[in-house]
Amino acid sequence: MAKQVQMRRGTTAEHSSFTGAVGELTVDTTKDTVVVHDGATVGGKPMATQATTASKTDITSTVATAGQDWLGVAYVDPDAIGANPTAKIYPDGSIVGSTDNGSYTKWANGDLECREIHSISRTVNQVGGYLYSAGSSDGFPDFPIVFSELPTVVVGVNRSNGAISIAVGGDASTISPCHYVELWLPSSGVTSSYQYMYTAIGKWK
């Protein structure tokens, strides 16, 4: 006949005043769980059951299923360039942030994307053949994060009137120095507003 083994047992309240021997196991009949004792800790250390672990929120699972419903954790990014930096870090290691220089996303695998939209109002007054030019714009700011290598940069312009010419160049920290955004109109003395925007993709590590 099989032998039946029973351990000492008691309620949670009874355990709260009990100190078991080193290595002793008891059963908490209130929680229906095993309690491990070390000879010193009053009440021992209750073990987790399947029911208690199943009730805990799995952060990684929440992120995977809820996507942007998970808000991230505030993070001070030591790599951020520009005034008023702000950032959040996510469980997959990605960092999303911005400074006055623009916004960015840093992925854990080393990929980096920087973005910026900049508004300009300029008056055309320089003769350029049959058109008048406003000259070179005040330029793109530095990237909010320095690229570890030359990025791929795409630039676009939204204008109210006139023709636009764009040239882009630079290094891993800024689109400068070989860039400009220039506005052309058929008459001088006209002030026109436009926006330029860029997306730069590359590596941050």
How far is the C-alpha of 205 from the C-alpha of 190, rounded, in Å?
45
CB of 187 closer than 8 Å to CB of 112: no
Q: Coil, strand or helix: which one is 98?
A: strand
How far is the C-alpha of 27 from the C-alpha of 22, rounded, in Å?
15
pLDDT by 10s per residue, the chain, length 205: 577 777 888 898 899 889 989 888 899 888 888 888 988 889 888 877 656 555 444 444 444 444 444 678 888 999 998 899 999 988 888 999 999 988 999 999 999 999 988 777 777 776 666 666 566 555 566 788 988 888 888 777 676 555 665 555 566 666 544 445 566 666 777 777 777 778 888 898 8
Correct CATH for 9-54 of 3.10.450.50, 2.10.10.30, 3.40.640.10, 2.40.33.20: 2.10.10.30
Q: Domain spanning 111-203: which CATH class is it, in words?
A: mainly beta
CATH 2.10.10.30 location in the chain: 9-54
pLDDT at residue 149, rounded to an integer: 84
CATH 2.60.40 location in the chain: 111-203
Cis peptide before 91 (omega within 30 of 0): no
Give the H/E segment covering residue 153: strand 152-159
pLDDT at residue 196, rounded to an integer: 74
pLDDT at residue 171, rounded to an integer: 63
